[in-house]
Amino acid sequence: MLNRIRAGLANKSQRAALYLGTEAGTEVAQKVYAQTPGGDDLPLKARKLKAIAIDNLDANLRRFTEAAKSSGINVHIATDAASAVRLIIDLARKADAKLIVKTKSMTGEEIDLRQHLEKEGFEVVETDLGERIVQLANQRPAHMTAPAIHMTLQQVTELFSESLGREIPPDPERIIAIARASLREKFLNADIGITGANFAIADSGAIVLVTNEGNARLVTALPRVTIAVVGVEKIVANMSDAFTLLQALIMSGAGRKLTSYVTIMRGGSRLAQNGLIQEQHVILLDNGRSKMRDDPIFQEALYCLRCGACNDICPTFRLFGGHVFGHIYTGPIGVPWTKYTATSDQAGSFAPLCISCGLCQSACPVRIDIPFLIAKVKDEYTGKHGQLPINRTLSNYETFVRLASAVAPITNFVLRRRFLRRALQWLLGIDSRRPFPHFTRYTFTKWFHSHVSMGTRTVAYFVDTYADMCEPEIGKAVVGILELNDCKVTLPRQVGSGMPSFLYGDMERTRRAAEFNVHHLSKVVRSGCEIISSEPTATYCLKELYPHLLQSSEAELVANHSHDLFEFLLNLHREGKLKLQLPGAFEEPVAYYAPCHTRSVYGKSNALEVLQLAGVQVSSVRYSTCCGIAGTFGFKEGLEGYDVSMAIGETLFQRLGAMNVRVVVTESSVCKMHIEHGTSLPVIHPAVLLWNMHQASYELPAIARGTG
Amino acid sequence: MTTTEADKISRFNVEVTSVGGRFLRVPDLSTVGDYVTELALASKAKQIILCSDALSSSLFLSYPTSQPFKAVVKGELSDEQFFETLKTAEIGVSAVDLAVAETGTLILATEDESDRLVTALTQAHVAIVPRSRLVLSLEEAESHISKMLADAKEGICISLVSASSRTSDIGDMNILGVHGPKELHVLLLEQEFLKSA
């Protein structure tokens, strides 16, 4: 894997192509959801429908089979890849086929269909342009919906030139015209058309195909035989359900309300060439899906609509594409799908590329908790093959920080010495280039115990590790702002959120942290307190991770009563109770970066809204993925972490640099460290900025406090 | 016309044109004929192919033969002749069974692949949308589609066309006309079609 990471990082043209395509994918999807009335509600509606469809999978399968058969469709059940391939080869032989045209289909990829058919001597032509490009390049698709996303115009031009035997100019219009002419011949002469299906409709026996190019129309209209290879999870009860899911799929996958073409077909139609009725086959493929359905944790992976949005938004996928981050199913959702359609080891081999930013869940049209499923795969893999020593060390991050804080002067001294950092790299695998935060003995907790908090409404503060032991000013600012808003702040018993161990798939350690925190926080919630956090990762753990991990009513209770500070302040604002007395108007324009855990929990930034309410001249940086540091990931040596984290952050650093500001604002402690390291701009927590404005004592922060 | 009807048409217009389609309101079938003629002349098309629905097939009934293009109605030729013509036709004309304003979608139900291919193989697709067949939302359209499926005795294909054929598979550039029509022309027909056809 390290060799593939090294090659991926060095391949600048591929990186540029991947970034361009994936960023555009994420941005158009976000835009169409924002512009569509009810867009925010669609994912949960779609999720419910998929959950019902999977719960009723057996009944839906029976109904679909009956309805399809009564319409003259030949329905076949394939329990695994080999039996599906055998069925299709037999059908092709029976039809005396020579030329087979295909649409892009993940089920086709899953069973290596093209390769098997070619081995049997059939000419097989991929007709989706992207898939055709990767066929000419003898590659696998690098993305779930955009197979050739990793290739530049120049590379595509060279491929077509080679295939034609003459030079063609690097002009997409010319290439398309050439592809159109050559593929038209194939469509017109094909004996069999093979498709997948985006949905199969139980009550009517119809299948639904979604394309922009229109190739599926020709693949299904011209050949005398059509075969659709359909994963059993694609069956939904009726057309109404399919339409809701169709919208979710297309909005997330194509950033549009509908693609150019949606084809709903049932039974063979009369052929244009000779008036004969087309022969239609549907192969319902299981190949691990029943096992997935029977696993209470992984079942939700079956909700996947194959939109590719998780590929687009994923920071490491944007860097490496699906040839590194994927097996056949690419990107984040590729991990659980590989576990069930291939092997757990194959899934575990690329699962470490997930850095638990949580963004894929927020981009998923059915909100699959993909980071959780990936952590489970990591857990299983490391249980079998062992954990890397550096991952074991960093899973224990909180203990390390406590020790570092207890002897802060020594820690800070050691961490500033270059040769000692090199020794640390050699001993532990912590990259010597990564600056450490400044540790302090005068923790927030110590300060708070000598502080008397006053207010009529009692709230509980979940401080988390960094604000406690590295930058207590954040905690003090949070307490100050809450007290300004008439809140009495309490500090319930707590440990660090557990995210560092979750990142490396140490689910047992994560569970211990979750259980401790939920146990103590649920008590304060029951006493009528809301829980406030200022670290986005802590908010993510409280609201998303703990309820999923623990599946308990206490965890749900804690999740429902936890807020990031700024959500809490906005709620007060909506009630007309927000007090932001900020005598120190802040004239300096600032750039704001929304941390990924903020976006994955809220889908937006509450802090940004509060800063705007406070009159800060704040501009949000255009950036839709994670900054790259991902907790402790960016601390790991070289290709294991640091190099990847810096490559991910490159675009963010450039864009922040181009904003011509002297200060950046973000809530996340690790994003702060990463941005300061990558841009040399000082980064401040929004609570600290607001509190300083309140105290009219604002000074531009310096970043010299970092050690390393 | 109620305000709602005007809004619906305006929405349809916006949605069709926002993805590069051309939208025109036409008072009657003869204007459709003029439009298709102009399109054929401007694009130097030699062959127009018309679906056998009542609207499309009646477009050129009384048209002078002196035009530099031919217009053929499906059904007037044998399967073989029609298929050969279809391969070279530049413009395909069809009436739609339903259209959706909110998504700019044309819905065509076909039991014969030749009808579908008229809209799938040509460079330009001209769609005639009788105003009475325009619905507002996809939800409304869905009940019609379910009924079409339930009523169909034979194989049926329902095509939802919301834009021309396109791809962004090369360098993330949006290119039109990959396999199907590069141009989509949507003509909203005001005339009550049954009387005219």
**Which tokens go with A607?**
């802090």
Phi and psi angles of residue A261, each rounded to the nearest 5 degrees, phi first = -135, 135
DSSP for A582-617, written as a single string:
--S---S-EEE---HHHHHHHSS-HHHHHHHHTT--
Number of domains in chain A: 2
How much is the average pLDDT of A508-525?
96
CB contact under 8 A, B164 and A260: yes
Q: Which residue of B has its CA nearest to A152?
A: B171
Q: pLDDT tens across A284-303, in order?
A: 999 999 999 999 999 999 99
DSSP for A189-241, written as a single string:
H-SEEEE--SEEETTT--EEEEESSSHHHHHHHSSSEEEEEEEGGGEES-HHH
Query: What is the pLDDT of chain A when averaged over all its residues?
Result: 94
Residues of chain B contacting A259 with CB distance shorter than 8 Å = 162-163
DSSP for A663-705, written as a single string:
-EE-S-HHHHHHHHHHH---EE-HHHHHHHHHTT------STT
How much is the average pLDDT of A164-182?
91
Residue given tokens 């309101």 in the structure block: B25
Task: Indicate if the pLDDT at residue A137 is higher than 70.
Answer: yes
Per the domain annotation, does A301 fall within a domain?
Answer: no
Q: Domain end: A257, A291, A325, which one? A: A291
Cα(A698)–Cα(B4) distance, integer angstroms: 56
Q: pLDDT tens across A577-633, in order?
A: 998 877 777 778 999 999 999 999 999 999 999 999 999 999 999 999 999 999 899
A147 min Cα distance to partner chain B (Å): 8
B38 min Cα distance to partner chain A (Å): 24
Task: Among B111, B170, B180, select the one facing A172 at the smallest CB separation.
Answer: B170
Q: A560 lies in which domain range?
A: 444-694
Residues 6+ apart with CB under 8 A from A339: A298, A346, A347, A348, A377
Enter the DSSP assignment of B131.
Answer: G
How much is the average pLDDT of A421-434?
90
Per the domain annotation, does A395 fall within a domain?
Answer: no
Query: What pTM value is reported for the model?
Result: 0.93
How much is the average pLDDT of A407-436?
88
CB contact under 8 A, A240 and B150: no
Per the domain annotation, does A572 fall within a domain?
Answer: yes
Task: Indicate if the pLDDT at residue A419 is higher than 80.
Answer: yes
Cα(A630)–Cα(A537) distance, integer angstroms: 10
The CATH number of the domain where A269 resides is what? 3.40.50.10420
DSSP for A139-174, written as a single string:
---SSSS-TTTT--HHHHHHHHHHHHTS---S-HHH
pLDDT number for residue B61: 66
pLDDT number for residue A411: 86
Residues 6+ apart with CB under 8 A from B79: A272, A273, A274, A275, B114
Question: Domains in chain B, ordered, with CATH?
Answer: 3-190 (3.40.50.10420)
* Alpha carbon A350 to its chain's center: 14
Cα(A653)–Cα(A487) distance, integer angstroms: 37
Per the domain annotation, does A363 fall within a domain?
Answer: no
Task: Indicate if the pLDDT at residue A707 is higher than 60.
Answer: no
Chunk chain B into consecutive blocks of 10 residues (it has 197) and report each block's average pLDDT, rounded to whole numbers: 81 95 94 92 93 84 72 86 91 96 96 92 95 94 94 92 90 86 95 54
Residues of chain B contacting A204 with CB distance shorter than 8 Å = 146, 149-150
pLDDT number for residue A299: 97
Q: pLDDT tens across A225-255, in order?
A: 999 999 999 999 999 999 999 999 999 999 9
Residue A57's alpha-carbon distances to A27, A232, A257, A297, in angstroms, are: 34, 8, 28, 17
Closest Cα partner for A1 from A381, A371, A474?
A381
How much is the average pLDDT of A118-147?
95
* Alpha carbon A575 to its chain's center: 34
How much is the average pLDDT of A629-656?
95
A137 min Cα distance to partner chain B (Å): 14
What is the side-by-side strand order in the sheet with A74-78? A74-78, A279-285, A225-231, A192-195, A99-102, A123-126
Per the domain annotation, does A487 fall within a domain?
Answer: yes
CB contact under 8 A, A257 and B162: yes
Q: Which residue of A has its CA nearest to B105?
A: A258
Question: Residue A566, exposed/middle/buried by CB under 10 A (0-12, 13-18, 19+)?
Answer: buried
CB contact under 8 A, B112 and A247: no
Task: Among B155, B168, B175, select the one facing A268 at the smallest CB separation.
Answer: B155
Q: pLDDT tens across A672-704, in order?
A: 999 999 999 999 999 999 998 888 766 656 554
Q: Domain end: A260, A291, A322, which one? A: A291
Per the domain annotation, does A382 fall within a domain?
Answer: no
**Which tokens go with A125?**
């032509």
DSSP for A622-660, written as a single string:
---S--S-TTTGGGB-GGGTHHHHHHHHHHHHHHHHTT-
A508 min Cα distance to partner chain B (Å): 43
Can you name the residues that pair with A261 across neighbouring β-strands?
A211, B161
Cα(B182)–Cα(A403) distance, integer angstroms: 67
Q: Domain end: A291, A319, A348, which one? A: A291
Cα(A484)–Cα(A49) distance, integer angstroms: 45
B20 min Cα distance to partner chain A (Å): 11
Per the domain annotation, does A397 fall within a domain?
Answer: no
CB contact under 8 A, B111 and A269: yes
How much is the average pLDDT of A556-568?
98
Task: Among A147, A176, A243, select the one facing B178 at the smallest CB separation.
Answer: A176
Which H or E run contains A490? strand A487-490
Can you name the residues that pair with B129 across neighbouring β-strands?
B188
Per the model's pLDDT, the better-predicted residue between B174 and A574 turns out to be A574
Closest Cα partner for A360 from A394, A387, A389, A336?
A336
Cα(A510)–Cα(A651) distance, integer angstroms: 32
Residues of chain B contacting A141 with CB distance shorter than 8 Å = none
Per the domain annotation, does A547 fall within a domain?
Answer: yes
ipTM: 0.95
DSSP for A394-461, written as a single string:
HHTHHHHHHHHHHTHHHHHHHHH-HHHHHHHHHHH-B-TTSPBPPP-SS-HHHHHHT-----SEEEEE
DSSP for A507-568, written as a single string:
HHHHHHHHHHHHHHHHHHHHTT-EEEESSHHHHHIIIIIHHHHH--HHHHHHHHTEEEHHHH
HSE of A267, CA atoms in CB hemisphere, 13 A? 22
Residue A483's alpha-carbon distances to A451, A479, A486, A490, in angstroms, are: 12, 6, 5, 11
3-state secondary structure B138-168: HHHHHHHHHHHHHHCCCCEEEEEECCCCEEC
